[in-house]
Amino acid sequence: MREAHPVERQVGMEYYASDADGIGGVLRVEPEDFRVRELERFDPEPIAADPGAYGHLVLRVTLRGWDTNDFASRLSDALGISRERVSWAGTKDKHAVTTQLFTVRGVDPDDLPEIRDAEIEALGRAGRSLGFGDLAGNAFEIRVRDPDRPDGVDAITGELRAFASGGRGDGEAGGDGNEDGDGIGTGTESAAGDDRGDPVGANDGAAGKNGPIGVPNYFGQQRFGSLRPITHRVGLRVVRGEWREAVLAYAGTPFETEPEETREARAFVDDQAASDEPDWRAALERMPSRLGYERAMLHRLAEDGAETDADFRRALEAVPSNLQRLFVNAAQSYAFNRILSERLRRGLPFHRPVEGDVVCFADRDAPDGVVVPVPDADRTQRVTGRRVEIVAKHCERGRAFVTAPLVGTETELGGGEPGEVERDVLSDLGVEPSDFALPGNFESTGTRRAILVRTDVGIERDPLSFSFALPSGSYATVVMREYLKAGPLDL
């Protein structure tokens, strides 16, 4: 089993599913190299609908080089409204060309501004804002620049097909992965076998004809920070009730990948934390103005005091509510990645359950035309010994998915060896489900998430490009890392 890049191991991604050498290369030299289009599951009313009953304007926006949060702030500023009135279903990467939906409350189409590198189209109206459940998935078109070994694509594809079906990889693109046309995540059929159109991007002869590839459904590096993977460390401190340590981990803790001025400011925070009489005002003055969240925390420490856990919790609450939630979400994601890595290490299957696993079933309400099976984490079942083979058949057909926990207060851990893996990881991290009963935006009830993601991949050779679709919450970089086997900064 091939070990992952050292930076990936810091966020719990410890192995690759494929052993073949990577093709090398880099992604996102230009934003156009990485295109993302949402697979929507949100049907707006017409523009002419009563704005009293349908007070949210629905927009389809194509962005070039925009972080989703930054664009939402820019849009709200241009409209002269609170950022809280802007909503979206999925956060997208900055270094890309992305097409996604937004809703804006209390705005008319004539109010829409012109914003650089943004094409804004008013689609209609809705009676509520967009949420995560309104996104079925994303379709990707990704170019790899300057690959070192482009001919290695076939061997990797063959191994990933084998991983998708539990078969033996033979190093060929047409390997002995799932080839029986049963529509498991191939984008050509639903789990029940009904026609749902052509697969996204199935445009090459070698790949896309003989069944889906599969990869562990890791949370990608972006979840934790590509240059400074720190959010999960902060979140683990929060979950353990270590509020002081959480603030200092975020505001301090310099990384070599950061600019010198930033490293020096963070090192000064660390020095103050170790001092008997910390000067948080001086730390605030040294922190660069572009680091607004760190400055907000330090400002509260300087103004309100830093004597008790409550003081440090209030400092952490100086950042936006979505970032507060992200800290805890990142801790959950890190634990999830660790569970998947341990499952790989032990040789437990991903494509089918073993006794004690918890599975979820396919979303029965997924809209027609969505080319990837969508897991429904609200419909779960513990797999007992006598039902293993029955449930395995459902997994083979894309009707069920083996899961692992995103641990929270309502998490029910698995049984058997899968449950042992889950408990061992949580014990090593020093957390348990009840620890997520936290104040305000830090609380989480938890859920479960599929451990395997399968998709058809279309490949063009000149230039080397990949196209595929993934369910919401899954990361394209988790697919591409198997091909490039490069560091996160090249993804």
User: Pick from 370, 365, 401: which is nearest to 138 by CA?
Assistant: 370
The answer to whether 297 and 249 are in contact (CB under 8 A) is no
- In 226-241, which positions are buried (b, 16+ CB within 10 angstroms) versus exposed (e)? bebbbbbbbbbbbbee
User: Pick from 346, 338, 361, 335: which is nearest to 446 by CA?
Assistant: 335
User: Pick from 57, 90, 93: which is nearest to 75 by CA?
Assistant: 57
For 84, the token pair is 């809280």
Catalytic residue among 33, 93, 154, 363: 93
Please calculate the CA angle 244-247-253 and round it to the nearest 5 degrees: 110
Q: Cis omega (within 30 of 0) on the bond before 463?
A: yes
DSSP-derived 3-state class of residue 139? strand
- Residue 93 known to be catalytic: yes
Strand positions, DSSP E, 41-152: 56-64, 86-88, 97-105, 118-126, 135-143
Q: Which residue has the tokens 């006598």?
A: 386
Residues 473 and 185: their CA atoms lie apart, in Å, by: 16
**Count of residues for the chain?**
491
The residues assigned a catalytic role are 93
